[in-house]
């Protein structure tokens, strides 16, 4: 019975404005620790996180969110060359929270948050599909093949799928050799140890990534309850699978925040799964890759 009571209490919590604000704040914590460079951004970020956690009424204060949004804006302007997509999405999300906290009516607040959560889920997914289709190096699988051979973050995932460590170990070194002015590589070309299996895995991941993002974007664009449920399920599958292979935790969190914002009133159980994904994504940060490689 206590499990059911705890769950019902959790559902009530996830529907509250405070929870949405709290997870958005935790995103700042993750960004400060894992993603930010420059003490001028890390230290104020951590101060905001501590303040929000220690004095909860701040989470419902527009000035608090304005301060964080201003910090994120300064970071984008100064460190634009180093800011990933999730940094931009989080920046947009912060200004949405600022605007939502400055309006009077609760109904209007919800309209702002929900419209923008849907808009940005469609924006992120469908524009990502457009960029993939038009990039010239995505659809043939060459992009993911290169990533698998050279990006250390994928090594554990590929080892689980039976790819030989010896094949993977040379990829990142190859890039360093090409960049190194103290090494003259013949024709500035290195041979990566690819094979038919890696090529197959790369094509599989290529099409999975493209199609699931297309499904998520299209489902939320339609704006029907049945399509929304499909969109939420696909988004959750995407979060749990894509970020297992490449733990870019910041992006998974921002997608989950938007999922909560959209699902919390009509589908509170789905919102609870998004909330659960925060914990699972954090567990993905456990260095399991070092154990299997």
Binding site for another protein (CB under 8 A): 80-85, 88, 92, 95-96, 99, 102-105, 108, 111-112, 115-116, 119-120, 123-124, 127-128, 131-132, 135-138, 140-143, 145-147, 150-151, 170, 173-175, 177-194, 199, 209, 246
Q: Given the complex with another protein, which of 14 and 124 has the nearer CB atom?
A: 124
Residue with token string 């292979």: 245
Q: Given the complex with another protein, which of 120 and 278 has the nearer CB atom?
A: 120
Q: Least distance (Å) from another protein to the CB of residue 212?
A: 13
How far out from the chain centre does Cα 188 lie? 35
Handedness of CA 19, 20, 21, 22 (dihedral sign): positive
DSSP 8-state code for residue 193: -
User: Residue 101's closest CA among 145, 62, 58?
Assistant: 62
Q: Least distance (Å) from another protein to the CB of residue 221?
A: 13
Handedness of CA 27, 32, 33, 37 (dihedral sign): positive
Q: Least distance (Å) from another protein to the CB of residue 157?
A: 14
Q: Least distance (Å) from another protein to the CB of residue 213?
A: 10
Q: Given the complex with another protein, which of 134 and 226 has the nearer CB atom?
A: 134
DSSP 8-state code for residue 181: T
- Counting other chains too, the contacts that 55-60 makes at CB distance below 8 Å and 24 or more residues apart are 56/18, 59/18, 59/21, 59/22, 59/25, 60/17, 60/18, 60/21, 60/101
Q: Least distance (Å) from another protein to the CB of residue 33?
A: 20
Q: Given the complex with another protein, which of 137 and 269 has the nearer CB atom?
A: 137
User: Residue 31's closest CA among 62, 68, 59?
Assistant: 68
Q: Least distance (Å) from another protein to the CB of residue 36?
A: 14
The b/e string for 255-282 (b: 16+ C-beta within 10 A; e otherwise) is bbbbbbbbbbeebbebbbbbbebbeebe
Q: Given the complex with another protein, which of 198 and 273 has the nearer CB atom?
A: 198
Q: Given the complex with another protein, which of 183 and 290 has the nearer CB atom?
A: 183
Q: Given the complex with another protein, which of 189 and 226 has the nearer CB atom?
A: 189
Determine the Cα–Cα distance for residues 71 and 222; give it in Å rounded to an integer: 35
Identify the H or E element spanning 161.
none
Q: Least distance (Å) from another protein to the CB of residue 24?
A: 14
Angle of helix 39-54 relative to helix 17-30, nearest 10 degrees?
A: 150
Q: Given the complex with another protein, which of 54 and 183 has the nearer CB atom?
A: 183
Q: Least distance (Å) from another protein to the CB of residue 128?
A: 5
């Amino acid at each position: 019975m206590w499990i059911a009571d705890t769950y019902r209490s959790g559902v009530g919590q996830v529907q509250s404005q405070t929870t949405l604000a709290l997870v958005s704040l935790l995103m700042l914590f993750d960004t400060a620790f894992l993603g930010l460079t420059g003490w001028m951004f890390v230290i104020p970020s951590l101060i905001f996180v501590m303040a929000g956690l220690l004095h909860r009424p701040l989470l419902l204060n527009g000035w608090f969110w304005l301060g964080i949004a201003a910090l994120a804006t300064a970071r984008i302007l100064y460190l634009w060359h180093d800011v990933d997509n999730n940094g931009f999405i989080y920046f947009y999300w912060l200004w949405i929270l600022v605007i939502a906290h400055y309006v009077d009516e609760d109904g209007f607040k919800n309209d702002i948050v929900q419209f923008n959560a849907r808009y940005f889920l469609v924006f992120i997914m469908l524009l990502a599909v457009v960029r993939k289709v038009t990039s010239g190096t995505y659809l043939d699988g060459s992009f993911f093949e290169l990533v698998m051979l050279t990006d250390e973050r994928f090594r554990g995932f590929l080892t689980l799928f039976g790819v030989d460590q010896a094949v993977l170990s040379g990829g990142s070194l190859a890039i360093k050799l090409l960049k190194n002015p103290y090494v003259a590589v013949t024709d500035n070309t290195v041979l990566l140890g690819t094979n038919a299996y890696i090529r197959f895995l790369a094509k599989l991941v290529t099409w999975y990534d493209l199609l699931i993002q297309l499904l998520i974007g299209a489902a939320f664009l339609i704006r029907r309850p049945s399509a929304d449920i499909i969109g939420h399920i696909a988004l959750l599958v995407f979060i749990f699978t894509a970020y297992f292979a490449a733990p870019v935790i910041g992006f998974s969190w921002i997608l989950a925040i938007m999922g909560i914002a959209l699902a919390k009133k009509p589908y509170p159980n789905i919102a609870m799964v998004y909330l659960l994904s925060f914990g699972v994504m954090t567990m993905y940060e456990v260095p399991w890759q070092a154990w299997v490689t």
